[in-house]
Each structure stands twice: as C-alpha cells, then as structure tokens.
Amino acid sequence: MTNQTSSRVWLITGSSTGFGRILAEAALAQGDRVIATARDVSKIQDLEQQYPQTGKAVRLDVTDPATIQTAVRSGLAAFTKIDVLVNNAGYGLMGAIEEVSDQEIRDQFETNFFGLLNVTRAVIPTFKKQGVGHILNISSIGGRKTFPTMGLYHASKFAVEGLSETLAQELIPFGIKVTIVEPGGFETDFSGRSLITAKQMPEYNSLRAEVVKIAAEQPRGHVPTGVLAMLKVVELPDPPLHLAIGPNALPTIVQKLSSDIEEYQRFEHIWQDSTANAGVGFNFSSLTQQV
C-alpha cells in the first residue's frame, strides 16, 4: 500500500480529456495522489469515486482566477502539498492571421497563455514554501515550428516557451524545476477541441486544406507512451528544460533548429560587413547626435 505521506501529489489542469485524463489515471494507478481539475467537474468525478483516498476532483477554469485559487486551496486542504503542476489545459485555433477575430485571439491567449500563467503563479508560493516542486508546461512542436493558418496558436505556444524558459531560471534558487513538454501528433481529441475561425476568407481555403492534409499524414503517437514519458521525467533529479514526445516531435524540432542555424550563419556576413565598414560612404554623425 502506498505511503500517503510520501506519495507524489499532482495538480493537473484539463483533466477531462487527452493527456490530462490519461496522466491523472496513470498517476493514481501507480499510487500517487492527484488533484484533477476541469471546467466541468462532472467529467472527472469518476476519478475521485474510483480513488476516494488519493483522487480529488476540483472545478478549475483557467480563464477564471477565482476558480484557480479555490482549486489550489482545495487540493492543499486534501493533501497538504503539491509536488507536480501540469499545465495541460489548452486548445488549437485554425485561421490565417488576417482572418481571426480580436475575440478569437484573446480567447486563445486567455486559455493557452494567461491561464497557464495564472495557475503557475498560484502554485509557486506553495513550491517555494516546500523548497521543491516541478512544473510541466504542455507546449507543442507548434511552440518551436510554425505552419500557416495556425499563427495565433503558435503565438500562444511560443509565449509559453519564453515564459517557461525564464521561469526555470528564476526558480533555480528555490529548488523548483520546469520542463516544457513538446508533443507532436498523438491520438487525442485535440483536433475535435480545436476551433476554426468563424470568418473564413476564400483566398485561404487551399492553404487551410493543405495544412489539414499534412497534419493528417503525420505519424501519431499512442497517448499512454507520452504519459509514461511525463511520469519518468518527474523522477529525474535533474530533469530537462525541453522534452519532445511523439514520433515526429524530435525530428521536426531538430530540422527547424538546424534550418535556423544555417540561415543565421549564411547571413552573418551582413553584420560583419556592417561592422567593418561602419561609416564608410555614409555620415552617421548626425544620427549619433540625435540619439
């Protein structure tokens, strides 16, 4: 029987579907304690019923700060600590940057970025008090590489990446770890939960169709294998900042990074030439005086 005082405590957002659901089930099955959260708590109530001593189902809407604070307090009241925070809640938005509405943009960022930010800020004080904690921020290969008609989704995930990398540096003195999980394609309901912009402009139809076709042709991982990777990474004494999971994740990210490096190096001469020839044929003094 698991020692309830030493077993790991997880707080997982978006626990009703996809990675969040399977991760909650797997953590409970291995004897950990889980604060499973979702906007509709009825969809996760069965977890608490199946694991009444170690499972806690709590309503949490990442776009509602009041429910975030309540969920954290409820989890701490039940288990006295939180060891791992998994920011999993999120959805995709398909639409060319010209197409998407202001409200669609704000909604995308409220869930994918500000929701993650607010949950993280609510849990950090507990981690600092404990002197230990691990944050898993679920990003995407879409936080490293972009595809047309997914610009706002990519922007939200790029924001998550930048936030997480900075957070990892800031939290080192407190013994708190941060890992950015970057899934590729998996057999989840992500596509079903994703939205297509309400205002579709016909000139983007062919581009949209091509992106859908490319996505459909990508290999898809089995969700439990991705969950197993997350269970393993929290066991590491020195976990990675970035964790790519899925059959196409690492090759896609490596190809993008290699392409970026090649481009930087190919055009390095522009800066070098500018430095070597500064002021040649052009009078910079007037500009300097204005600065």
**Residues forming the active site:** 139, 153, 157
The 10 Å Cβ neighbour count of residue 158 is 17
147: which 2 tokens?
């595809």
For 9, 27, 94, 96, 108, the CA distances from 147, given in Å and listed in that order, are 37, 34, 10, 10, 17
Residue by residue, DSSP assigns 180-222 as EEEE-SBSSSHHHH-EE-SS--GGGHHHHHHHHHHHHHS--B-
Running DSSP on this structure, what letter comes out for residue 95?
A: -
Place of tokens 């990892």: 168
Residues 109/160, Cβ–Cβ less than 8 Å: no
C-alpha distances in angstroms, 199 versus 95, 97, 99, 153, 196?
8, 11, 6, 16, 9
CA distance 113 to 108: 8
